[in-house]
A and B are shown apart, each in its own frame.
Chain A
């Protein structure tokens, strides 16, 4: 008899905690594995706040792929050299020396990826930019960031919330992103 009672209590507790977990996950009370707030150290301390904030350089000046391609692309060395070439901007800065050395020696800089989507998610920048979405919608106020941080969870819920808005007229098929 007492065994049955204990059993019933255990089952109730288990079910209760399970539903708590499901509720917490479904309502974004707990976010697991999305890396929101991730700020990796970069090989070169590139200050977005100076470039995009203080000098108001357009994001697309460096991230050239946004309007045509799936990837925004991180700029190649020659793009940096457009401004930071010999006898140009900030030549004595040690960080810029790193970029110059790499460029002159034909070395690429290995940046740490901040916003990482799994392989089975196919996000395409071009149509989003075409639809007039601002970069900050997903990437946050990059123009104020000294170090780039993952500003949103970039979870499926984050994507679908936007796609579901009637004014966006965006598809919500599975194959919109997964294929």
Chain B
């Protein structure tokens, strides 16, 4: 028997484990991080003495037994809408624009209030799946920190005071209209995916002669600029990862954060079929991104080498190999050969050869926040050339009509210039938060002094709102009408699912009211009573098929989607003139700063949603903070340990922040997540992490977020990062099984070590349904949308940073992340872990009060009202999936949040255990419905929340007693395996082995990975 103490584990979860740090060993042996009572718990008013006092009081109450329980009231409708039935959900199709990502929603509502966001199966972008932020945005609707009405800020001349008063809409409109009549108006807005909002903004501009400027907190300006230059055509390209057999991502996180990650993840998974046709992903990157963690081959480069790397591949193809029609183009060769001597530290010959071999079905993508270097557009031009060389244009890369995201005629640097020239009297800001995401060097704040009035259509007292004179508080998108044209060319409708909670007004209604006051208002504006009427008329005018008729409109509201309107497709010609400006940049010395978006927070708009703050990052597994990520080698030379403070200095800007040592990160690079360090976003977000944008550079009128020369100094002090990965150690047994594609095709599941098991029990009999699940490790990319879906579906509380550190996080579904191989550049595996619903469940046998028991349908039930909180079950659970309610978490939920609770699931109380139920309420509801309709369950009728949310289709669930359900085939296939099979727990959840499209595995387990504990 080998043990971990004597050998470096091949699969490891943290550097402490890899190094066999004694502290980690202690932690691993301890099993539970938290003891029943922490030394400082008393400070929260929950000391043991307090507990005993309360217990005494409740004992006294029970002895006076026959008192009526709390009287409840039933308040029926006055006039019940015909389609609302108390106890049943109504589903409304809607849309959610998350930056440049357009997702189709199906909003579950109960008694007129939305309780859960799901994906619209008819929307081609997400096909029923949903992103983390899509799920989480419902809590922004119920955010207690939202403004409840329009506000006026009584600013002094320098806009430095903060005196915010409520104002009536009439008074606000009067003041604004009076100001607008003076002329010189600028509108600063985001790249809006709503065609009707764009039309309305244009109408407003025409009515007042206002000028429009574009600004996005997370910008794709370089990509748009490069598309214009490369093809003489505006707009953004459309990628088809499903058609790509060989994908190269260069400092690009297309699975996690870039452009349309949900769509790309789905397309990528569709080509991840375990056949000879399976795709291969090669990633060159500086930080460890979600995409990098899913790579078959991964190489490390610095941000400043991004362009060099693309050029190195081009050099190899055009100059060394002399392939493609561009090899004879002098202009191209001149531009490319200028990079011939660029050192990228990686031999790209093999990658280039593979790309050429797969030409027409390969795809190269680059760019994003973490490669937002100076002249980032050059990277995209070079990538466009590379895709043209590889004949991917019109195949895996398609242009989309210019209608999607109109290019900006002017951006924020033009605005700042004209503000400084005193050409702007009134500034209207909507859909972006420039005071948060612009670096100080842009001098936007200073330019405010030349403006008479600033109007902001935000929803809270955030960074930009505090400089505005008026805040015309906007609706949440679930309260508002709208439409959306996503980048794949699909039109969809956004319809309100709840009456506005507060005295807020749609941004579009505000613009409409103001535009109407102008004598030059267009007929379209004058003819529209409100924003809904405007939207409806706009769709009539556009005459989009049947949607222009009333019946067609009703049908559109039902389905939510009008697809196939904008045809993309067709090849386009690369204009070699685009290469003229591209020259090698000067070398960078020292550390390079690379900012990045996290999968949870992105640009930080939803930072006040506790679910997102407590979601363990898919890679670092850290919650509630941002941190400077540093490679293990750099950390060693700086003598850094996890959580030590470092000071990052860029010019005169400094940030002191805890460090996280990130395996797989390029040396000489510091990563820092944006989206944190919000001010005025609300009680949850404020004070969490620091604003990375403060270190961004301002160069030639655009923001630089990467490749910034940075001084890194250890500054003393240490912060404990709330990381969920150190807990739940699995002691190096056969947890994750990987196979190469070659091995898999020869013998699927051949590397799985099987055990001959015998049992003294006869086992349970399952005569009706037997519920089971299969999780495909091959398509799961670790995006964590399922975790938030589960949290939303099952009323799971958040506990805060302090208790995450103590290991008390409550998410029922966790995703374990294992590193494989050398910390310099390891492979990564993501493994979602719900309750295994074991047939021989160890938890059931140890419960003294039978609060957890086995059902005749194979589920492991948890009866909260029986549970007395011994936690024996959790002790005995080999998978550590049980969560204990240390406190009455439901008391901490602010009032509006309570409206998001799912009434089908009990809100748990203090002192009880809870865990994944296989969404038993969904099973029960489906069975009741089937019974009422005199039928049995249809195959695949029941979906769990995690399964429904997964865009890659990694989770299959259903009845194992019925071969018509998709899960039965997956469950019994030779490549499926049970976790810790040797314990004979007979889990109802199995995993499909992970297949890597490589020659050799870094983990290469021969027998049980390492250290088999027999």
Contact = CB atoms under 8 A, between A and B. Distances in A.
Are A and B subunits of one complex? Answer: yes
Interface of A: 32-33, 35, 38, 40, 64-65, 67-71, 73-79, 102-103, 106-113, 116, 118-122, 124, 126-127, 130-131, 171, 173-176, 178-179
A107 B76 CA distance: 10
Contacts of B929: 126
Closest 4 CB pairs between A and B? Answer: A69-B87, A173-B855, A76-B80, A76-B77
Contact of A112 (B71, B905, B920, B932): B71
Given A77-B78, A175-B924, A119 B907 contact: yes
Contact of A118 (B77, B865, B928): B865
Given A68-B88, A173-B861, A119 B906 contact: yes
Contacts of B920: 175, 179
Given A120-B864, A174-B863, A179 B906 contact: yes
Given A73-B85, A77-B78, A175-B855, A32 B65 contact: yes
Given A127-B928, A130-B932, A179-B861, A32 B73 contact: no
A77 B906 contact: no
A113 B72 contact: yes
A33 B856 CA distance: 31
A40 B861 contact: no
Interface of B: 62, 65-66, 68-69, 71-80, 85-88, 853, 855-857, 859, 861-866, 904-907, 917, 920-921, 924, 928-929, 931-932
Given A73-B85, A108-B77, A116 B72 contact: yes
A70 B68 CA distance: 24
Contact of A116 (B69, B78, B928): B69
Contacts of A102: 78
A65 to B, nearest CB: 6
B76 A73 contact: yes
Contacts of A64: 85
A106 B86 contact: no
A67 B929 CA distance: 10
B859 A112 contact: no
Contacts of B86: 65, 69, 71, 73
Contacts of A74: 74, 76
Given A38-B68, A126-B932, A110 B73 contact: yes
Contacts of B917: 175, 179
28 contacts: A33-B65, A64-B85, A65-B86, A68-B932, A69-B85, A70-B88, A71-B86, A76-B76, A76-B80, A77-B79, A78-B77, A78-B78, A103-B79, A108-B75, A109-B76, A113-B73, A119-B906, A120-B906, A121-B865, A124-B928, A126-B928, A126-B929, A126-B932, A130-B932, A131-B931, A173-B859, A178-B863, A178-B866
A65 B85 contact: yes
A118 B907 CA distance: 11
Contacts of B863: 120, 174-175, 178
Contacts of B862: 179
Contact of A179 (B73, B76, B905): B905
A129 B1 CA distance: 61
A112 B857 CA distance: 38
B928 A32 contact: no
A75 B76 contact: yes
Contacts of B906: 119-120, 122, 178-179
Interface of B is mostly: loop
B76 A77 contact: yes
Contacts of A108: 75-78
Nearest to B794: A179
Contacts of A121: 865
Given A109-B76, A174-B861, 11 more contacts: A33-B69, A76-B76, A77-B78, A102-B78, A107-B78, A119-B907, A120-B906, A126-B928, A131-B931, A174-B853, A178-B866
Contacts of A75: 76
Given A65-B86, A179-B906, A35 B77 contact: no
A67 B85 CA distance: 11
A65 B84 CA distance: 10
Contacts of A79: 80
A17 to B, nearest CB: 14
A116 B905 CA distance: 17
Contacts of A71: 86-87
Contacts of B62: 32
Contact of B78 (A35, A67, A76, A179): A76
A106 B80 CA distance: 12
A69 B88 contact: yes
A68 B85 contact: yes
Contacts of A73: 76, 85-87
B944 to A, nearest CB: 13
Q: Which of B77, B78, B855 has the most CB of A within 10 A?
A: B78
A174 B924 CA distance: 12
Contacts of B73: 110-113
Contacts of A173: 853, 855-857, 859, 861
Contact of B855 (A103, A109, A127, A174): A174
A179 B921 contact: yes
Contacts of A118: 865
A169 B550 CA distance: 49
A120 B68 contact: no
A111 B86 CA distance: 16
B87 A70 contact: yes
Contacts of A176: 855, 924
A174 B905 CA distance: 14
Q: Which of B69, B917, B921 has the most CB of A within 10 A?
A: B69
Contacts of B855: 171, 173-176
Contacts of B853: 173-174
Contact of B904 (A40, A103, A107, A122): A122
Nearest to A121: B865
Nearest to A33: B65
Given A171-B856, A173-B856, A122 B924 contact: yes
A76 B84 CA distance: 12
B931 A32 contact: no
Nearest to B934: A130
A144 B387 CA distance: 81
A77 B79 CA distance: 6
A120 B908 CA distance: 9
Nearest to A75: B76
Nearest to B908: A120
A124 B71 contact: no
Contacts of A109: 75-76
Contacts of B80: 76, 78-79
Contacts of A174: 853, 855, 861, 863, 866
B898 to A, nearest CB: 13
A127 B931 CA distance: 6
Contacts of A116: 69, 72
A175 B859 contact: yes
A124 B74 contact: no
Nearest to A124: B928
A41 to B, nearest CB: 11
A102 B65 CA distance: 37
A109 B73 CA distance: 9
A10 B853 CA distance: 37
B69 A35 contact: yes
Given A71-B86, A120-B865, A179 B69 contact: no
Nearest to A178: B863
Contacts of A65: 85-87
A68 B864 CA distance: 27
B865 A178 contact: yes
A79 B920 CA distance: 34
A126 B927 CA distance: 11
Contact of A76 (B68, B79, B88, B864): B79
A113 B74 contact: yes
Contacts of A126: 928-929, 931-932
Given A32-B66, A173-B857, A175-B917, A78 B79 contact: yes
A164 B14 CA distance: 52
